[in-house]
Amino acid sequence: MEDSPPPQKQKRSRVSAGLLIFRRHKIIEFLLAHPGGPFFARKDDGVWTIPKGEVLPGEDLLTRARIEVEEEIGITVSGDCIPLGSIKQKGGKTVHAWAVEGDLPDSFKLKSNNFEIEWPPRSGKRQKFPEVDRVAFFPEEVARQKINPAQAVFLDRLREILGSNNLGGHVLAGE
């Protein structure tokens, strides 16, 4: 009889998938999400992100990206998604992204999943926080200041694609 390997602690995925939502109102604007929770409460420049989330082994990347937009900000994305490739963030996580043109509905209200952590640290108390505490459209210059620096490449790639295509817009559906 063979010995079974000891149970391993579940590791967090090192792969995420997300969507860069953009709109055109005389200028191109990008929808970014601000991470919720106490670690980001007083941080702004360089911490905003595309709505994204961890991919399970064998899961379709684009499907996960669409699900993450629903879970993190509460909207359903329709329309053709434009592949933007992948990047590796400072901590080693690989992020795959697509872009989709759209806008938030007039009735939009942020609706995000929550996560739970011990807070304050070593207090023994657990608190829930939203994964995303706010979203906003930013013009490109401001988006470049706000976005996680590794993800700025997605803005470059989309800008290059938009220079050679005429893409139609979509209104995104609120839940």
DSSP β-bridge partners for residue 145: none
The pLDDT value recorded for residue 1 is 47
Q: At 37, phi and psi to the nearest 5?
A: 100, 170
Q: Which CATH architecture has domain 15-170?
A: Alpha-Beta Complex (3.90)
Q: How far, in Å, are 65, 71, 87, 141 from residue 19 at the CA level? A: 6, 12, 13, 19
142 φ/ψ sector (left φ>0, alpha ψ -120 to 50, else beta)? alpha
Bond from prior residue into 120 cis (ω within 30 degrees of 0)? yes
Q: Using 70 as the pLDDT threshold, list the residues of the chain that sit under it.
A: 1-13, 164-175
Can you tell me the distance from the alpha carbon of 27 to that of 89, in angstroms, rounded to the nearest whole number? 28
